[in-house]
Amino acid sequence: MEKELNKMFICNNESLEKDSYKVIWVDNWKDELIVFKNNQNKIKIFSSICPHFGGEIIYDDKKKNLKCKWHDWKFSAETGKCSNDKILANLKKYDFATDQKNLKNYNYIIENDDVFAVREI
């Protein structure tokens, strides 16, 4: 049985300038997406909500990576993989560890020069 795709209009392909990005809230997906073109001019779409603590993800044009504005966690602009080392710290009398999590990655399709994020339902 073939899985059905749910698609959501993101923007017009021409509006994505190389190394610029857009952030779009998708209400019925309950997610905010960051959309940009990488160095190879390929469209990339990730969740723009940091899995660490919910901060805003931005595209760092100079370093060509994604980073959280709150705690500066960094993610690959190609895969969404978290590139921070494991963080261990002491908080008063409690030991704790913060696990790395990757950004949610979305596929896309282009129809009539419009970019749509897609996910399986």
For residue 47, what are the CA distances in angstroms to 29, 87, 88, 90, 117? 11, 22, 25, 30, 11
Q: Are 48 and 28 in contact (CB under 8 A)?
A: no
- For the stretch 51-60, pLDDT in tens is 888 899 998 8
pLDDT category at 116 given cuts 50, 70, 90 is: very high
CA distance 97 to 3: 37
pLDDT over 90 percentage in the chain = 32
- For the stretch 3-32, pLDDT in tens is 666 889 998 888 887 557 889 998 888 999
Q: Are 50 and 71 in contact (CB under 8 A)?
A: yes
Residue 47 has pLDDT above 90, yes or no: yes
Which are the contacts of 38, defined by CB distance < 8 A and separation ≥ 6? 44, 64, 77, 78
| Domains along the chain with CATH numbers | 5-120 (2.102.10.10)
